[in-house]
Structure 1
Amino acid sequence: MKGFPLRALLLLFAATWLLAGCQPQRTILKPSLTDQGELFLYVRTLPREARRLKFALSQVSAVKDDGSEYPLSLSFKDFSVNLVNRQRFFASGQLPPGDYVALAVGVAGATLLDEEGEEKLLVPEKPVRIDCRFNVTQKRATFSSLAFNYDKSVMTGYSFNPVFTVTPSGKPVTGLVGYVSNYGSNTLTVFDKQYREVVGVIATGAGPKGLAFDQLRRRAYVALAGDDAVEVIDIPLGEEITRIRLKPGDAPQELALTPDGKLLLAVDTGTNMVSVIDPLSYQETDRIQVGNTPESILLDPAGTRAYVFNSFSQSISVIDVASRSVVATVPSEPGLSRGQFSRNGTILYTIHEMNPFVRLLAPFPSLALQQRYRIGMGAIAIKLDTLTNLVYVGKRFSPDIEVYEPSTFVALSTIRMNGSALHMAIDGEQNNLFVINSERNTVDVINLVTREVIAEFDVGEAPYWTSLMGER
């Protein structure tokens, strides 16, 4: 190894890190809905009076109005106050369109704790019918919430017959809406940011990834990596408006919307392009060649220039939005890179999954490296709070979010989660940080004053991005 170039060593290490880091994250892209719809069931927190009860369900089926039954896939089967101490994603399944009249629930067993210990309860031999009406529509998702009734389920202390109240989703208050894109399940999870719970699911095209919210027009734009398209969602209605077709093989990854909402940029990882889209006419109006394997994009605070992070060519392409052209290219670091601007726009902070340093760059036209600080390997998520100017960084394989002072990058505190952070968004109204926990398929909600996790809710498979109304 004597005389072996240092850069070659670093590249070898980077390649090893990439293989180690990406393999667990691989998700098989499933087809989007065609002839069927999809049902999603969430269970609310078990009531306090159920603290002595444990039970397990063996199966759940959706019962159509003609009597036919369709089994659902369960995400968990065991129920107790400790296991269901928050809202939980319970079951889902693709179903034929039509009217449904009930759920059929099979019970595997139940116990009740008394003075002498856990006593087995008698349970039904056949599935229990839970009457509820819902409609499944072709190519759309149906959401329902289940609330467990303890008093009606445990009879005389000797037998158990589960009773749930099933409530369909309502329309959430638009100003309280947040979305999570789920790449592995072709859905958007809709949540209420005030109550910090899931209130709906929207079926999308294949491979939803980056999101962009138009706060004024109340629209959401979704990059469909598997369909080479951008889906447009009406946020108040929770319904698709249209789909903007890109070129075959584009595989759009992330999106950036100018502050005036008149221009949408899509990073096309598959073709090394950036699509320029008119979001009012729903048309792609231009294409800009950038570096190799662009994966992330960031607009400066004025919305005049876009910074595209190219992972394979290890570069940042700077696009002048007005002229729709690349005006500069600056070297970067290996692997996935992301950036955030300081609140006054004078510093660009960049993190790199395969490099242990955060780099501080001057914005265009200088792009000079002003400083770099060691923060450790694996940084994949960064969010700057424009209220405090503090920087939050999450790392792959680490349960910690580090909070940094931006001028010296001294770590001020550490926020502990139950998994690694993939993406973050700040609610400017409630002053909470919403963090995608990629290991648990959940979103953790962190209060920015106490810097503690105050809530967690389940989302879909392989969550990628989260956006909020009222985001700062």
Structure 2
Amino acid sequence: MTRPILGLAASLSTALLVAGAAQAQVAPIQSSDRVYAAEQFSNTVSVTDPSTNRLVGLIRLGDASPANFSPLYRGQLLVHGLGFSPDGKTLAVVSIGSNSVSFIDTATNAVKHVTYIGRSPHEAFFTPDGEELWVTVRGEDYVSVIDPVSYNEIHRIQTPGGPGMTIFSPDGRYGYICSSFNPKTVVVDAATHEIVGEVAQPSAFCPNIAASPDGSQVWFTLKDIGKTVAFNARPPFNVLATLDTGPLTNHVNFARTARGQLAYVTVGGENAVKIFRTDDFSPVATIPVGALPHGLWASPDGSRVYVGLENASELAVIDTASNTVVANVGVGQAPQAVVYVPGAAPSGAGDRNLQPRSDAGSVLIRMRVSDGTEADTTISLYDQGLIQVVQGSVSGLTPRSPYVLALANAADGSGPLEPIAAFTSNPAGAAIVNALGPIRQQVRAEQGVSRRYLVIAPGTAAMPGAPVQIQVAAP
């Protein structure tokens, strides 16, 4: 199925939307605006008022473990991706584990509909005219095109296997689709749904892609090799620059600031946001932000950038004039995608159907190397009742090598080790490591349990070596 070419009325409507978006670029932060973050371990969407940097509340889409293990579980699982309609009235929330897109009314914070699609969708974005929602189905080889009125899938765009994310040119002409499993980004004509261009990826793992506000460039990140690529947003879609941004490079986005148009990149392995110019690709600043920065989005006026700190369960607020973090907002567990929606709460307090944030139940553990120097590695324990999701953002390792996350009985890591997760470092010498179990009780010596210490050791679960990173101190 091909999409019909828009008529004059639709073209005028699109022009008005584009003009409205351009006007919104200079609008200051308002109390009716909202910043949303998708949190994958609490299965929530946090709602923050950017005028006060105050959490308004949480939209709960699912339950924590082990309730979500039940065969009768009906909630969403691994809430991860976010997109919003051009009019700001609808939020599209992608849940990887339950293969779904939840449509949320931003005025009431209520779920209007849930559409179930193919295996492991990742991100969803509306076309600039608001007529379609494109969802990358990363576990398959297509983009699911959904009608946001009927909520039905109306088309599938075939792509290389594992499409990671789609972003559109500001004028709505092109959709740019990177891949998480194949080294190829494709460019699609949004009107015909046909592939009209390709861009080679230096690696196969692209989690995020963004188009510059001026419509001239597209940037995508490569998490496994620690690079970010910029290419021409128009034919011939040639690569303009490949930047070494750092291990666990997560998301990229843009802001129109007093210094001009700048690109912001979250680097998990260095717990920082890096800023680059878009004219000559030179670095501007590196901002320490906290544990495992992931998604980010700028306010329309370019004065603030909001960053989800995955291992801290917080939203960091960057002042773009001083390049410093000016606020931290506690949100749900492990925020992933972040979006800023102007005018999402047009009247009242905007807190209908929201739940308060209980204790996020996360413990942040820092690691040191053998000489005592603190590493950039952070490990978080997210409470799920009596057990925890363990997530480590590990860096500073030998590339492409086997390691284990383990428990040691001694504070210096000596003695026998009990492996809890085996992993292989990526080409940048980093990794995201996950496990599930009653770990908090051991590292905090709760309920009469003997104190133990988390370590990173080379080797396999059967034959771990001497630890190379050791827990700084018991939390």
Q: TM-score normalised to the size of structure 2?
A: 0.59
User: 1:223 matched to which residue of 2?
Assistant: 94
CA contact under 8 A between 2:226 and 2:247: conserved in structure 1? yes
CA distance in 1, matches of 2:240, 2:277: 16
The reply to whether residue 320 of structure 1 matches residue 189 of structure 2 is yes
The reply to whether residue 259 of structure 1 matches residue 116 of structure 2 is no
Q: Relative to structure 1, is the Cα distance of residues 309 and 216 closer, same or farther in structure 2, using a 3 angstrom cutoff?
A: same
- Alignment counterpart, residue 277 of structure 2, candidates 400, 405, 422: 405
CA distance in 1, matches of 2:226, 2:266: 13
CA contact under 8 A between 1:429 and 1:470: conserved in structure 2? no
CA distance in 1, matches of 2:135, 2:85: 15
User: 1:470 matched to which residue of 2?
Assistant: 342
After TM superposition, give the deviation of residue 279 of structure 1 in Å.
Answer: 0.5
After TM superposition, give the deviation of residue 215 of structure 1 in Å.
Answer: 4.5
- Alignment counterpart, residue 34 of structure 2, candidates 177, 181, 195: 177
CA contact under 8 A between 2:86 and 2:126: conserved in structure 1? no
User: 2:175 matched to which residue of 1?
Assistant: 306
The AA in structure 2 aligned to 1:203 is R
Matched position secondary structure for 2:269: coil
The AA in structure 2 aligned to 1:216 is D
User: 2:377 matched to which residue of 1?
Assistant: none
After TM superposition, give the deviation of residue 303 of structure 1 in Å.
Answer: 1.6
CA contact under 8 A between 1:174 and 1:235: conserved in structure 2? no
CA distance in 2, matches of 1:174, 1:370: 39
CA contact under 8 A between 2:95 and 2:122: conserved in structure 1? yes
Q: Which runs of 5+ in 2 are unaligned?
A: 1-29, 62-75, 344-475
After TM superposition, give the deviation of residue 330 of structure 1 in Å.
Answer: 2.6
Q: Relative to structure 1, is the Cα distance of residues 191 and 343 closer, same or farther in structure 2, using a 3 angstrom cutoff?
A: closer
Q: Relative to structure 1, is the Cα distance of residues 441 and 314 closer, same or farther in structure 2, using a 3 angstrom cutoff?
A: same
After TM superposition, give the deviation of residue 290 of structure 1 in Å.
Answer: 0.8
| TM alignment of 1:7-86, pairs within 5 A | none
The AA in structure 1 aligned to 2:330 is D
Cα distance per residue 1:290-347 (max 9 Å; x no partner): 1122222211111221111112211102221111222333321222343333332222
User: 1:449 matched to which residue of 2?
Assistant: 321
- Alignment counterpart, residue 198 of structure 1, candidates 55, 63, 73: 55
CA distance in 2, matches of 1:328, 1:454: 41
User: 1:372 matched to which residue of 2?
Assistant: 242
User: 1:330 matched to which residue of 2?
Assistant: 199
After TM superposition, give the deviation of residue 283 of structure 1 in Å.
Answer: 1.2
| TM alignment of 1:423-462, pairs within 5 A | 423-429=295-301, 431-462=303-334
The reply to whether residue 344 of structure 1 matches residue 214 of structure 2 is yes
User: 1:141 matched to which residue of 2?
Assistant: none
Cα distance per residue 1:65-110 (max 9 Å; x no partner): xxxxxxxxxxxxxxxxxxxxxxxxxxxxxxxxxxxxxxxxxxxxxx
After TM superposition, give the deviation of residue 361 of structure 1 in Å.
Answer: 1.6
Matched position secondary structure for 2:237: coil
CA contact under 8 A between 1:276 and 1:285: conserved in structure 2? yes
CA contact under 8 A between 2:80 and 2:96: conserved in structure 1? yes
List structure 1 segments (4+ residues) > 4 angstroms apart after TM superposition.
none
The AA in structure 2 aligned to 1:314 is P
CA contact under 8 A between 2:255 and 2:302: conserved in structure 1? no
CA distance in 2, matches of 1:381, 1:174: 26
CA contact under 8 A between 2:170 and 2:215: conserved in structure 1? yes
User: 1:285 matched to which residue of 2?
Assistant: 154
After TM superposition, give the deviation of residue 386 of structure 1 in Å.
Answer: 3.3
Q: Relative to structure 1, is the Cα distance of residues 352 and 188 closer, same or farther in structure 2, using a 3 angstrom cutoff?
A: same
After TM superposition, give the deviation of residue 357 of structure 1 in Å.
Answer: 4.2
CA contact under 8 A between 2:123 and 2:136: conserved in structure 1? yes
Q: Which runs of 5+ in 1 are unaligned?
A: 1-172
CA distance in 2, matches of 1:266, 1:403: 28
Matched position secondary structure for 2:278: coil
CA contact under 8 A between 2:255 and 2:263: conserved in structure 1? yes
Q: Relative to structure 1, is the Cα distance of residues 368 and 213 closer, same or farther in structure 2, using a 3 angstrom cutoff?
A: same
CA contact under 8 A between 2:241 and 2:281: conserved in structure 1? no
After TM superposition, give the deviation of residue 458 of structure 1 in Å.
Answer: 1.6
CA contact under 8 A between 1:337 and 1:380: conserved in structure 2? yes
The AA in structure 2 aligned to 1:389 is Q
The AA in structure 2 aligned to 1:232 is F
CA distance in 2, matches of 1:329, 1:234: 36
Matched position secondary structure for 1:397: helix
CA distance in 2, matches of 1:453, 1:304: 36
Q: Which has the higher contact order (CA 8 A, sep 6+)?
A: 2
CA contact under 8 A between 2:254 and 2:297: conserved in structure 1? no
CA distance in 2, matches of 1:377, 1:181: 23
The AA in structure 2 aligned to 1:412 is V
CA distance in 2, matches of 1:231, 1:257: 13
Matched position secondary structure for 2:131: coil
User: 1:212 matched to which residue of 2?
Assistant: 83
After TM superposition, give the deviation of residue 207 of structure 1 in Å.
Answer: 2.1
The AA in structure 2 aligned to 1:457 is V
CA contact under 8 A between 1:359 and 1:373: conserved in structure 2? yes
CA distance in 2, matches of 1:224, 1:339: 19
Q: Relative to structure 1, is the Cα distance of residues 225 and 374 closer, same or farther in structure 2, using a 3 angstrom cutoff?
A: closer
Cα distance per residue 1:418-442 (max 9 Å; x no partner): 2232111111258211101112111
Computed over aligned residues only, the root mean square deviation of the Cα atoms, in angstroms, reads 2.1
User: 1:134 matched to which residue of 2?
Assistant: none
CA contact under 8 A between 1:174 and 1:236: conserved in structure 2? no
CA distance in 1, matches of 2:37, 2:155: 28
After TM superposition, give the deviation of residue 217 of structure 1 in Å.
Answer: 5.1
Matched position secondary structure for 1:385: strand
323-332 vs 305-314, which moves further: 323-332
CA distance in 2, matches of 1:328, 1:444: 36
Q: Relative to structure 1, is the Cα distance of residues 269 and 174 closer, same or farther in structure 2, using a 3 angstrom cutoff?
A: farther
The AA in structure 2 aligned to 1:268 is V
Matched position secondary structure for 2:170: coil
CA contact under 8 A between 1:442 and 1:456: conserved in structure 2? yes
User: 1:59 matched to which residue of 2?
Assistant: none
The AA in structure 1 aligned to 2:317 is V
After TM superposition, give the deviation of residue 382 of structure 1 in Å.
Answer: 1.1
